[in-house]
Structure 1
Amino acid sequence: MIGDSTMANKKLDGGNPERGWGHVLAGFFSEDIVVDNHAQNGRSSKSFINEGRWEKVISQVKKGDYVFIQFGHNDEKKDSTRYTVPGGSFDDNLRRFVNETRAKGGIPVLFNSIVRRNFISPDDKDMKVDARKVPGAATKPVEGNVLYDTHGAYLESPRRVAKELGVAFVDMNKITHDLVQGMGPVESKKLFMWVQPQTVPAIPQGREDNTHLNVYGARVVAKLAVQAIAKEVPALAGYVRYYDYVVAKDGSGDFFTVQEAIDAVPDFRKGVRTTILIRKGVYKEKLVVPESKINVSLIGQEGAVISNDDYADKLNRLGEKMGTSGSSTCYIYGPDFYAENITFENTAGPVGQAVACFVNGDRAYFKHCRFLGFQDTLYTYGKHSRQYYEDCYIEGTVDFIFGWSTVVFNRCTIHSKRDGYVTAPSTDQGKKYGYVFYDCKLTADEGVKNVYLSRPWRPYAQAVYIRCELGSHILPVGWNNWGKKENEKTAFYAEYQSKGPGANPQARAGFSHQLKTTKGYEISTVLAGDDGWNPVKNGNAVFEIKR
């Protein structure tokens, strides 16, 4: 991307809320698309070339790369370092960008300038240049209800060059004109850098700026831009993604923390999912998804990690031990929660109980997620919670999958870091199912040799392994009674067609079972409950991201 401040990435110091629409663009594409934004504040097409910025960009362009080009705001400025003539030098610079991009095998796309928020009629034919005003610093003309253009002929140059050279063109001015005019003079301030004094450390005096977008405005404009890009550049349409919120450490989203995004989800939003993209980064926070935040989807880009380091014996703010439940990195209470491609980790290490994820809500679904910790990594807490884990990775040492819930693990990797126990279910008496593992792979660190499949945290614990590949770290006896002989009468532990060096049906504990059939253990049956929940039906259509 090459352009001016309305497109550029911004500094984040002092909570600066200014964003160019290019800064947030990556949040609207799949990870197949990499956005490299070279737009700079204050640059025109002329100064971008003369400062050597274009030379740097074109040297990096490879065959198949797209180059998005948007200038005009500063080409209008009358100073000699930036000023260009529409129909003359401005057009020539745009032609140069296009032709040199094509010579490298790239694909140029031209954009014209976004509007200024100008609801004041011009006094003469000169272009009105927006100034950044301090609130209350001067008397300003009264705004009307009509949005007036400030760019004039500079809007036509990109359109003209695009038509002349057969290049895709996106009319950003019309897109943003319709947006701002539709919102009107009052509501449209929400898009731009109208900042009250003493509210943002980066701008202590405040600002009334009708040219530059804030976080909300950049996200709104970028979404409209992407919709137009998908239409004008069909080859990119398949990579477009729409999320309700984006979390990003680099300022390219709506929020910097996952908790801020969760807090922004409307309470009890029924009949529709709220989708949240978490861009690459380690987010150190204690995340709580409250019961009122229903139908939430967290989608992580590669390298999205939610992390913390609390543990049971660590003291809270009141000087009390946190306990196992208090140690968790993430708490999920809201029903119909979905997470994909996210790592939940507790980095406290081997210090006793230190939970990575605590799941209480019903109908929770995790896909391609990682759960990292040592003791008590994954706490399936809810007694009335059904949970489904597909193609996930879970690691730990002792009882690292534990709790009351009914849970299916499908094609997961379960990794033991030390000798210990894979699971510690506490299934309630009368519950038909506890933990069911389908086609999972149980692995271990080198040197780990003494691991049990399960021990009963409560007397009626249930765990069943179906067609699982068991490593040599699994003890021949397989199951442990937690030192209580009476647990052998009430717990239900079983396997079906276990394979691998850890599969040893003849040597298993006498109170365990070898199933002859999987009837009654179908995923749809185990998780059905009273509402027939089936998370794998129809290719998980309910969780698909809007495109």
Structure 2
Amino acid sequence: MKIQGNKMIWLLAVAFILLSAFRADKPVVTIFMIGDSTMANKKMDGGNPERGWGMVLPGFFSEDVRIDNHAANGRSSKSFISEGRWEKVISKVKKGDYVFIQFGHNDEKADSTRHTDPGTTFDDNLRRFVNETRAKGGIPVLFNSIVRRNFVQPKDASIAKDIRRIPGTSKEQPKEGTVLFDTHGAYLDSPRNVAKELGVTFIDLNKITHDLVQGLGPVESKKLFMFVEPNRVPAFPKGREDNTHLNIYGARTVAGLVVEAIGKEIPELAKCIRHYDYVVAQDGSGDFFTVQEAVNAVPDFRKNVRTTILVRKGTYKEKIIIPESKINISLIGEDGTILTNDDFANKKNVFGENMGTSGSSGCYIYAPDFYAENITFENSAGPVGQAVACFVSADRAYFKNCCFLGFQDTLYTYGKQSRQYYEDCYIEGTVDFIFGWSTAVFNRCRIHSKGDGYVTAPSTDKGKKYGYVFYDCRLTADAEATKVYLSRPWRPYAQAVFIRCELGKHILPVGWNNWGKKENEKTVFYAEYGSKGAGANPQARAAFSRQLKNLKGYEPVTVLAGDDGWNPVRDGNRLLDVKR
């Protein structure tokens, strides 16, 4: 498929923005993980809900830390070495990297390819991992095994086996009590002993998970493990009962507890730890695969606290709706997180009707106190008329380091009573690509024209004190954009003010347009203060526009204050200390 020149330039520009904007390169520390199935990444075929705790660990660290998980199903410390897996890992370790080591489950097995003995061969393998890591300048961390969910007292002192049972296939099952019994024996002591001997950080993962499972009890603890009812998951049509391996919820819970321990024991990693209520990830490392699933899981009207959602790197093609009941959501993206859709106004819906401008958006935000950071909102339909990337009706909506990509009608500030704040954002388009009724402040944003047209098309209601206010923004353009107006009034009382903005040469000397209606010139409020750059031309501006003499009444805190004193410039995305 051939891509036309302009389209290719656009794609390259977007890629550059996404890769380079808002973030300076930082050295990345790698955490290498070696261990067994309870730590390992899992295949997701057939909706498999099994997860190792290491698989979900990336959602607990900033992007200054990279997780490289080499743990594998069925491996012991012995087989991990004999199969060449350790050689592959240690060849990558560099100074300052970490190696997380968790074995024991399969060292207990009787077969000669995996079996080791605590106190001798098991300890020797752990020493090898530690010493060779240190020789490369790496930092080893030893863990013992997570607990098995075993509420049945063993008949003897032998090590229990991993049992995976298909529901209904066994006539009689041992009756569970209320006490959780150990199944690992002396294999739990080897990592602790080697850590003490060699001066290595030790995380007692068995105690952490034992306390968790015992605290939940025999019934509630099943929610952590692979208990799957028949005919619910294609991967296990007959169901599964597994007391060893974790499901998504269990892995996220255990990983969260691991991270708490790491934060206490390893100060350097503590700086990079992050906690989110939910994580969205296409690779299965989160709670959900889609953003909408995470939004739906947020309790309705969860007051006086934020629900934080991390969206890991990836392109999510969804139609996202954040309804009014999902208040106080913070949506945080990793670098390269794109929420995209390709609907447009003339596209047909299921009834054969045009979607219309409002129906074309890929994301709808209705809930108050919404916050987004490092998210790209994209409408990829191209130059096909109105095609909205983000539709914002919510009050007190705050966007930081976000990108809004599209052509015509990219950002729809819809709510008439909505106040919106955009900080260090990138917004692009051609015609009316910032438009709507809301009061909106744009602070230090880059506003990019992809062709001739109009930057804004406010439809401010009569009697409203403020419409759009741009502070210290840069207005840039593609080479083919040479005739661009700052604004035209979608409605007669439109308001737009540009303060200390750097205007490119693409901005026409006249600056402002009346949308072909002379009477609009009497009702609009279009103004500038301290414009600079090749597009700043106060002497040539349209006669119905103004040059402000001072900024009294146009401080961001004043524009956004409303009746409740909202001040995102000072307070960030924290909740207001007011009753609602």
Q: Determine the C-alpha separation between the residues in 1 that align with 2:184 and 2:176.
A: 19
CA-CA distance at 1:541 after TM superposition = 5.2
Alignment of 1:406-425 (within 5 A): 406-425=439-458
Q: Determine the C-alpha separation between the residues in 2 that align with 1:43 and 1:291.
A: 49
Give the aligned CA root-mean-square deviation in angstroms: 0.8
Q: Determine the C-alpha separation between the residues in 1 that align with 2:409 and 2:466.
A: 21
Aligned to 1:382: 415
CA-CA distance at 1:542 after TM superposition = 5.1
Q: Determine the C-alpha separation between the residues in 2 that align with 1:308 and 1:38.
A: 35
Aligned to 2:13: none
Aligned to 2:137: 105
Task: List alignment gaps of at least 5 residues for structure 1.
Answer: none
Secondary structure in 1 matching 2:68: coil
CA-CA distance at 1:447 after TM superposition = 2.2
Alignment of 1:140-539 (within 5 A): 140-538=173-571
Q: Deviations over 1:132-156 (max 9, x none)?
A: 1101110210111000000000000
Query: Which amino acid is 1:423 matched to?
Result: T
- % identity of equivalent residues: 79
Alignment of 1:4-153 (within 5 A): 4-138=36-170, 139-153=172-186
Q: Determine the C-alpha separation between the residues in 2 that align with 1:306 and 1:207.
A: 35
Q: Deviations over 1:289-308 (max 9, x none)?
A: 00000000000000011000
Task: List alignment gaps of at least 5 residues for structure 2.
Answer: 1-32
CA-CA distance at 1:130 after TM superposition = 2.3
Q: Determine the C-alpha separation between the residues in 2 that align with 1:378 and 1:411.
A: 17
CA-CA distance at 1:540 after TM superposition = 5.0
Q: Deviations over 1:198-241 (max 9, x none)?
A: 10011111100000000000000000000001111111111110
Q: Determine the C-alpha separation between the residues in 2 that align with 1:540 and 1:311.
A: 31
CA contact (8 A) 2:398 2:573 kept: no
CA contact (8 A) 2:304 2:575 kept: no
Aligned to 1:3: 35
Q: Determine the C-alpha separation between the residues in 1 that align with 2:503 and 2:52.
A: 52
Aligned to 2:6: none
CA-CA distance at 1:538 after TM superposition = 4.2
CA-CA distance at 1:318 after TM superposition = 1.5
Secondary structure in 2 matching 1:147: coil
Query: Which amino acid is 2:121 matched to?
Result: S
Q: Determine the C-alpha separation between the residues in 1 that align with 2:572 and 2:432.
A: 32
Q: Determine the C-alpha separation between the residues in 2 that align with 1:467 and 1:405.
A: 22
Secondary structure in 2 matching 1:382: coil
Query: Which amino acid is 1:120 matched to?
Result: V
Secondary structure in 1 matching 2:207: helix
Q: Determine the C-alpha separation between the residues in 1 that align with 2:573 and 2:164.
A: 49
Q: Deviations over 1:326-367 (max 9, x none)?
A: 000100000000000000000000000000000001000000
Q: Determine the C-alpha separation between the residues in 2 that align with 1:51 and 1:362.
A: 58
Displaced runs of 4 or more, over 4 A: 538-543
CA-CA distance at 1:472 after TM superposition = 0.2
CA-CA distance at 1:418 after TM superposition = 0.5
Q: Deviations over 1:267-294 (max 9, x none)?
A: 0000000000000000000000000000
Q: Determine the C-alpha separation between the residues in 2 that align with 1:391 and 1:432.
A: 24
> Taking structure 2 as the reference length, what is the TM-score of the superposition?
0.93
CA-CA distance at 1:517 after TM superposition = 0.4
Q: Determine the C-alpha separation between the residues in 1 that align with 2:371 and 2:222.
A: 35
Q: Determine the C-alpha separation between the residues in 2 that align with 1:297 and 1:132.
A: 39
**Count of residue correspondences:** 543
> Taking structure 1 as the reference length, what is the TM-score of the superposition?
0.99
Q: Determine the C-alpha separation between the residues in 2 that align with 1:100 and 1:407.
A: 57
Query: Which amino acid is 1:364 matched to?
Result: A
Secondary structure in 1 matching 2:253: helix
